[in-house]
Amino acid sequence: MARIVLIGAGSLQFGLGTMGDIFQSEVLAGSEVVLHDINPTALARVEAAGQAFVAEHNLPFTLSATLERPVALQGADFIISSIEVGDRFALWEQDWRIPQQYGIRQVYGENGGPGGLFHSLRITGEGPGVGVGRPTPVSLASAPPKATSESPGSRPLP
C-alpha cells in the first residue's frame, strides 16, 4: 500500500491530527505512515501516542519514526509537510500586518492571501522543482522524485 511521510510530525497538533485523519480513511488502510521531525523528544512522544492508538484500535496501518529525512522520504508515495522556518509568531504577525499596510485585509494566518504567499515562499524554498524561495543548507535533492507533482506515480490523497 502507500508510504505516507509526515514531515514536522513532532508537532502534537500536526502529527496527531494528521495521523487521526489518515487512520480514518478506508482507502489508505494498510498504508505505512512514517513520522519525521528534527526534535527527537517531540518525535518520540508523537510516535508513542500513535503506536498506542494503532494497537488499541487494531488499525491496519504500520507506523515508524525517523530523525533522518532521506530515510523518511525513501519510497514515499505521499509527503505531507508542516514545518516553520524562523520565529513562527513574529513571522505570522508580519504576514498579517504587511498586507494591511497596503490596504489588503485578509484572514490572520498562513493559509491564504498575500500573507499565505509569504509563508509559502519561506517554507517551499527547499523542495524539489520549486523555483522560488531562499536557498537552504538542507536539500530534498537526495530524495527520490517519486512523490513530486511531476511524477507519473503521483496522485492526490483521497
Condensed to tens digits (0 to 9), the pLDDT of residues 30-48 reads 999 999 999 999 999 999 9
Say which amino acid occupies 82.
S
Strands (E) located in the chain = 3-7, 32-36, 62-66, 78-81
At 82-98, the pLDDT tens digits run 887 778 788 888 888 88
Give the pLDDT of residue 126.
53
pLDDT band of residue 134 (cuts 50, 70, 90) is very low
Cβ(10)–Cβ(36) below 8 Å:
no
**Where along the chain do its domains lie?**
1-83, 85-138
Residues 14 and 45 sit within 8 Å (Cβ to Cβ): no
Residue 71: predicted pLDDT: 96
Bridge partners of 6, per DSSP, are: 35, 80
**Domain 1-83, second-level architecture:** 3-Layer(aba) Sandwich (3.40)
